[in-house]
Amino acid sequence: MAGASLAAAIGSQARVLVLEAEDAPGYHATGRSAAFWSETYGGPDIQPLTTASGPLLQAGGHLAPLGSLHIGRAEDESAMDAFLAEFASSDVRLDRVDPSAFVPGLRSEWTLGVQEATCAYIDVAALHAESIATARRAGADFVTDATFAGATRDGGIWTIDTTAGTFQARTIVDAAGAWADDVAVRAGVRPLGLQAYRRTMVQLRTDPGAPDGMPHVADLGGRFYFKPEPGGRLWLSPHDETPTDPCDAAPEEIDVAIAIDRFEQVVDWRVAAVERRWAGLRTFAPDRLPIYGFDRDVPGFFWCAGQGGFGIQTAPAAALLAA
């Protein structure tokens, strides 16, 4: 998403070539997204980009109403107070509510609730496809199966070697997600200490099924989140963050089991089946803030990396900022 959205934002201002290592764009983090837009997700430092992206996503028809409910038990009172305080100076509306009014079958110990009514579903596939189409209409070219081998710079021109051939450009944009530091090293640029983390998701069939109108539900203590999907299905994550090397991420059985165990401690529903499971990579800089801008030491090398788990919900505004 980072590369496609930036290519779309650049438009006809420059000649753009997008080099994709896989056989199709969006295979890794973008194709495995939890697909929601939340102004509080990522914290107050990310919120301005998320909020700025909201109208752009809405105008493109990529958002649908969902709402979010942040819940906790009595021991989470301080976490709730800290959460509310983090966004007190923002325009994000957060309301204390009775969580049992929003989640049928909620176990009685879950007494704390904060409603974030603006949270929405994101149509990730449509957003990604629109970005690619917009970039192509502006003249951008996309080359797939182009694994990056290295790059050298001479006379202000980069020569870029890939498995799909050799290309030249005045500027390299490093939007390689979990592989961004690896791309930098292969281009002779100092890495920035980016770290990939595995996040697990499962799709459950439950009894009863997830009701229409139920919001996204997130633990104030950061131990899980779940949201309803079409057909009464439920997407659930244990909110894991396991450090890993860049890879084609796959879920671990223990993380799936942890997710279900935590879910069953929240509601009295029965898990009838685990229909699907997957994992994606969320990549952070040491300060957990995204990196947009030219490298300090190497001319013509532009970073667009470290978007963590909020790259899609911030993509429209971040792309305009970077462009």
Alpha carbons 33 and 227: distance in angstroms, whole number: 13
All residues at 6 or more sequence positions from 154 whose CB lies less than 8 Å from its CB, including other chains:
none
pLDDT at 27: 81
1-62+119-194+286-323: CATH number: 3.50.50.60
Concatenate the DSSP letters of all residues of 12-30 into one string.
GGS--EEE-SSSSTTTTTG
Q: What is the pLDDT of residues 267-318, one digit of tens each?
A: 999 999 999 999 999 999 999 999 999 999 999 999 999 999 899 999 999 9
Sign of CA dihedral 112, 277, 228, 68: positive
* Residue 140 binned pLDDT confidence (cut-offs 50, 70, 90): very high
CB-count exposure of residue 124 (10 Å: 0-12, 13-18, 19+): buried
Average pLDDT over residues 101-129: 97
Q: If we measure between CA atoms, which residue out of 223, 222, 197, 201 comes closest to residue 306?
A: 197
Average pLDDT over residues 75-81: 97
Q: What is the pLDDT of residues 23-59, one digit of tens each?
A: 988 888 787 888 899 999 999 999 999 999 999 999 9
Q: What percent of the chain has pLDDT over 70?
A: 100
The number of beta carbons lying within 10 Å of the beta carbon of residue 209 is 16
Alpha carbons 145 and 21: distance in angstroms, whole number: 5
* Whether the Cβ atoms of residue 31 and residue 156 lie closer than 8 Å to each other: no
* Beta strand spans in 93-194 (E): 95-96, 112-116, 120-122, 141-143, 148-154, 157-162, 165-169, 172-174
All residues at 6 or more sequence positions from 155 whose CB lies less than 8 Å from its CB, including other chains:
none
Q: What is the pLDDT of residues 215-237, one digit of tens each?
A: 999 999 999 999 999 999 999 99
For 126, the enclosing helix (H) or strand (E) is: helix 124-137
Q: Domain residue spans in the chain?
A: 1-62+119-194+286-323
Average pLDDT over residues 10-28: 92
